[in-house]
Structure 1
Amino acid sequence: EGGQRGGRRAEILLAPGDLKTLSLGAQWELFERFSFVQENVEPALLLLDVRARPELQILWTALEARALLVTAALDAAGEDVAQRLRTGGLSPAHFREQWEGLGFTEATGRASTAADDWLEGLLRISRITTGQDRPPFGQVNMASRAQRISDFLSVTSPGQSDTVYDLGCGNGKFAITVAASSAARVKGVEYGQTYVDSARRNGERFALPNLEFIHADVRDVDLSDGTAFYLYFPFWGEVAHAVARTLGDIARARDITVYASGPQLDYGEHFLEQVSQGALRLAPERLAFADVMVLRSAAFA
């Protein structure tokens, strides 16, 4: 029965069409679907006696061949964008227009948007980084949504004189996208080795001179040159308290913006403590971004 379901899933993925005519995001969606089938259906097929079910063997062979074609098309489309970024043929403004212009509406049946599919296809990253256990003081990394990245860019307008820190950068989606979309210096800080390795591999393809990834406990990193800080639900407990205290100290000395986002702001109370102590001021809540806290230096209001 599992094999029959797998066969039906495979048939859907084998629909004819020229892969080169698909957008990079559409190619990534196909790639992820193939990956799902391989991870969840192949084990069931291997348990079957394919000699008794030759139609499944035929389908699986066709599926593997189609998956190779999808991978090749995705690689070619991604390399075209990467090449233009490396050579300056795609400016930060035009790069940003390209992914933002795809929109942030979730596709039916998918917890994703056209902008997210395009960015994740370009970077070859899934929303959840695999192969890494949850760190002792944070969450299993989830890549930031494109709409949050767009909002951060609109709120902070980072330029050449700015340094943006992505605290708990995971596989690098936010940091790479901001570095490619602006002239700001972008530094991703990450404790998990698997995440850092993934982020560096993703970033190397684009040779962005304004991008750096730091493998360290965030409490050991000098953040004093930062002007904007992005946090997507990365820490809790003492680490969250220490980060908020550090950013509060920086806010007393210079004008900074803190953009804290996540499915639940378990660490928000630590930033509110800095508000009560006069280091940071909280921007008005926006209904469209109810899970986002934007804080700025109180002394530079």
Structure 2
Amino acid sequence: MPPDSPTPRVAPWWVERAENLLSSKDERTLDLGSLWELFERFAFVQENVEPDLLLLDVQARPELQALWDAVEARAYSVTEALDAAGDDVVQQLRTGDLVAAGFRDRWEGLGFTEAAGRASTAADDWLDGLLRISRITTGQNRPPFGQVNMASRAQRISDFLSITSPGQHDTIYDLGCGNGKFAITVAASSAARVKGVEYGQEYVDSARRNGERFALRNLEFIHADVRDVDLSDGTAFYLYFPFWGEVAHAVARMLGDVARARDITVYASGPRHDYGEHFLEQVSQGALCLAPQRLDFADVMVLRSADASRRA
């Protein structure tokens, strides 16, 4: 290149992503899960291009304004298609055209194999698109001993349903339910009563709004410190590492007390240190017994009432 030639401008990082997005499949041909995957890709670009920097990009290369306008227009179209696909499923649930067993078959049948380059599965994309719940929710205050909300993976929800086989006489507690993916999915997939307990007000508000869309009579969200909730009617309890330390210790002790009074199943996922150890303490005290560990779910402890056989 001659010394007096101008230095080529490097395209902003978002340009290639935007061009790839605009060349993606027509949203009218995509199913719910594929629409969610495309929606998230558009959202990533829109949320990570700062307005001030975009203005500078356009000033340097005016033709980029048309590209950005096209991205926003297509993102709006994808959002509309996602809403329509989700509303169709919601309507089927509300009218009874889609029963619990059929709903479960629909998302489980999509499979749990992670897509290349994405920490997601077809079943998760379908559920997350239906519920409009991202896997990780940040930007909200965490209570002491609480965790950042992470939506449960579809395979874990499926495993819980297979282990507990909940029916109309069961009451399931999702302790630290966050935005409600597990609770809503289980309530729509079974006849059991499902209660989600959450300390964060914003999470509870979001979960309730989502739950109201489906008009599920077997679903309830409780805004409370889990230590203040009466869990005595529960038959199965789900915990996706929602808290640690003093709260985890108190909850494990509460579940131990319930296990001494009735037959329950506890599905607790998380590290052993400062979380799982509190449940294992209830095993050593004779309230719970621990099922054998499974390779596919190495971080999951399945615990049941130790006196179940005696009460049978």
What range is the shorter-chain TM-score in? over 0.9
1:71 Cα deviation (Å)? 0.2
Question: Does the aligned pair in 1 maintain the 2:171–2:233 contact within 8 Å?
Answer: yes
Cα distance, 1:131 vs structure 2 = 3.2
Superposition map of 1:121-140 within 5 A = 121-140=129-148
Structure 1 pair 40/264, CA: closer, same or farther in 2 (3 Å)?
A: farther
Which amino acid in 2 is paired with 1:46? Answer: L
SS of residue paired to 1:96: helix
| Residues in 1 aligned to 2:261 and 2:214: alpha-carbon distance in whole angstroms | 34
Q: 1:141 to 1:263 in 2, by over 3 A?
A: farther
Find the partner of 2:192 among 184, 195, 214: 184
Counterpart of 2:275, as a letter, is Y
Question: Unaligned 5+ residue runs, structure 1?
Answer: none
Question: Which one is further off, 2-11 or 227-236?
Answer: 2-11
Query: 3-state SS of the aligned residue for 1:205?
Result: helix
Quote the offset at 1:109 in angstroms.
0.7
Match of 2:96 among 84, 88, 103: 88
Deviations 1:249-273 (A, max 9, x none): 1101100000001366641101111
Q: 1:265 to 1:113 in 2, by over 3 A?
A: farther
Which secondary structure does the structure 2 equivalent of 1:48 belong to? helix
Does 2:252 correspond to 1:248?
A: no
Return closer, same or farther for 1:265/1:19 CA change in 2, 3 Å cut-off. farther
**Separation in 2 of the partners of 1:262 and 1:94?**
30
Q: Equivalent residue for 1:239?
A: 247
Assess if the C-alpha contact under 8 Å between 2:57 and 2:64 holds in 1. no
Asked whether the equivalents of residues 74 and 121 of structure 1 are also in contact (C-alpha less than 8 Å), the reply is: yes
- Structure 2 residue aligned with 1:167: 175
Alignment match, 1:33: 41
Query: 1:117 matched to which residue of 2?
Result: 125
Query: Is 2:5 the partner of 1:14?
Result: no
Q: How many residues in Structure 1 have an aligned counterpart in Structure 2? A: 301
Other-structure match for 2:4: none
Matched residues in 2 for 1:16 and 1:33: separation? 11
Calculate the aligned-residue CA RMSD, in Å: 1.5
Q: Counterpart of 2:304 in 1: which secondary structure? A: strand
Letter in 1 for 2:116: T
Helix, strand or coil at the partner of 2:137:
coil
Q: The residue matched to 1:110 in structure 2 has which SS?
A: coil
Give the stretch that moved more between structures: 242-251 or 38-47: 38-47
Look up the match of 2:298.
290
Distance in 1 (alpha carbons) for counterparts of 2:26 and 2:268: 42
Paired with 1:98 and 1:49, the residues of 2 have a C-alpha distance of 44
Gaps of 5+ in 2: 1-8
| CA positional deviation for 1:54 | 2.0
Corresponding letter in the other structure for 1:128: I
CA distance in 1, matches of 2:225, 2:255: 15
TM-score (ref. length: structure 1)? 0.97
The AA in structure 2 aligned to 1:180 is A
The change in CA–CA distance for 1:107 and 1:141 in structure 2 (over 3 A counts) is same
Shift of 1:7: 1.0
CA contact (8 A) 1:191 1:216 kept: yes
Distance apart, 1:4 and its partner CA: 2.4
| Match status 1:151 vs 2:159 | yes
Q: Give per-residue Cα distances to partners, 1:173-193, cap 9 Å, x unaligned.
A: 000000000000000000001
- Identify which range, 7-16 or 113-122, moves more after superposition: 7-16
Segment of structure 1 superposing worse, 176-185 or 261-270: 261-270
**223 and 106 in structure 1: CA distance in 2 versus 1, 3 angstrom threshold:** same
Q: Is the 8 A contact 1:265 1:291 kept in 2?
A: no
Secondary structure, counterpart of 2:289 in structure 1: strand
Deviation, structure 1 residue 51: 4.1
CA drift at 1:135: 1.9
Q: Kindly provide the amino acid, as one letter, of the partner of residue 60 in structure 1.
A: W
In the TM superposition, what is the alpha-carbon distance from 1:130 to its structure 2 partner?
3.2
What SS does the corresponding residue of 1:166 show, helix, strand or coil? Answer: strand
1:17 Cα shift? Answer: 3.3
Residues 1:106 and 2:114 aligned together? yes
Q: Quick one: structure 1 residues 67 and 42, their matched pair in 2 at CA, closer, same or farther if it must change by over 3 Å?
A: farther
Query: Does structure 1 retain, via aligned residues, the 8 Å contact 2:259–2:304?
Result: yes
Q: Is the 8 A contact 1:280 1:295 kept in 2?
A: yes
Change (3 A) 1:160 1:58: same
Moved more, 241-250 or 36-45: 36-45
Corresponding letter in the other structure for 1:85: L
Residue 42 of structure 1 deviates from its aligned partner by 4.2
